[in-house]
């Protein structure tokens, strides 16, 4: 299963960093990069990367993650039908899927942030601070300049918005979406603090607490 999963990361005919939901191109066509699915898959890659292995093996997993980071950054800066990072899926050439769909799906940015925070923490353990600050999180730059920072700013300012659920059918406030948004803010606050971005850390913590209260209110 893991070998086949890896084949769906940057397969032939796609840009580096694309994670296709399936090699199937008809009946149904799942040859797309879903932000949600990709984040969940790449979190498995981070877990593999964190295990003891040879330098050669580790380099393979790092390359897959680096491609995903770059493709995610491209997604963030591409104009989309939903008008923001809640766009659910992209074509394998990096363009957004422009046909009718349930959009936005705001669990995507939160899941992507969770996966890349996981990756950032592993890299920081290895002393790869420069990579983290250059590509993943740099509070000294504008929020659009690093992938995690971009997603955390979106989640922290837009978690009150309605969006479509993970089954892509109903628009509203969804427990699953809010739980992954909360997790991204909690883990994002810890990373921001670790990297000296104390103001942002406090902001993310505050929004996580407000989101927790909102979840409790709606639960009752």
At which residue do the structure tokens 């996580």 appear? Answer: 208
**Catalytic choice (43, 145, 165, 212):** 165
Structure tokens at 57: 């093996």
Q: Using CA atoms, how far apart are residues 125 and 105, in angstroms rounded to an integer? A: 32
Residues 6+ apart with CB under 8 A from 133: 146, 195
**Catalytic choice (66, 122, 145, 168):** 168
168 is catalytic: yes
| CB contact at 8 A, 155 and 110 | yes
165 is catalytic: yes
In whole angstroms, how far apart are CA 50 and each of 71, 115, 124?
22, 13, 12
Residue among 117, 140, 147, 123 nearest 200 (CA): 140
Residue among 145, 149, 207 nearest 178 (CA): 207
94 phi/psi in degrees, rounded to 5: 95, -10
Bond into 48 cis (ω within 30): no
Please state the separation of Cα 74 from the chain's center in Å.
12
Active site residues: 165, 168
């Amino acid at each position: 299963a893991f070998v086949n999963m890896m084949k769906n990361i940057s397969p032939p005919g796609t840009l580096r960093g694309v994670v296709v939901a399936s090699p199937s191109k008809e009946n149904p066509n799942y040859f797309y990069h879903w932000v949600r699915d990709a984040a969940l898959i790449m979190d498995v890659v981070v877990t593999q990367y964190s295990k003891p292995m040879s330098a050669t093996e580790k380099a393979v997993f790092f390359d897959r993650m680096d491609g995903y980071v770059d493709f995610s950054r491209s997604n963030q800066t591409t104009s989309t039908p939903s008008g923001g990072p809640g766009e659910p899926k992209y074509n394998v050439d990096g363009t957004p899927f422009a046909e009718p769909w349930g959009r936005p799906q705001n669990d995507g940015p939160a899941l992507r942030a969770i996966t890349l925070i996981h990756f950032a923490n592993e890299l920081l353990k290895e002393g790869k601070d420069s990579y983290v600050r250059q590509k993943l999180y740099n509070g000294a730059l504008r929020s659009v300049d690093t992938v995690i920072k971009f997603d955390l700013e979106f989640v922290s300012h837009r978690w009150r918005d309605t969006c479509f659920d993970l089954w892509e059918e109903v628009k509203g406030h969804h427990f699953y979406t809010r739980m992954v948004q909360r997790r991204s803010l909690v883990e994002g606050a810890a990373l921001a603090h670790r990297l000296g971005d104390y103001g942002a850390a406090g902001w993310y913590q505050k929004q996580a607490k407000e989101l927790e209260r909102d979840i409790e209110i709606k639960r009752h």
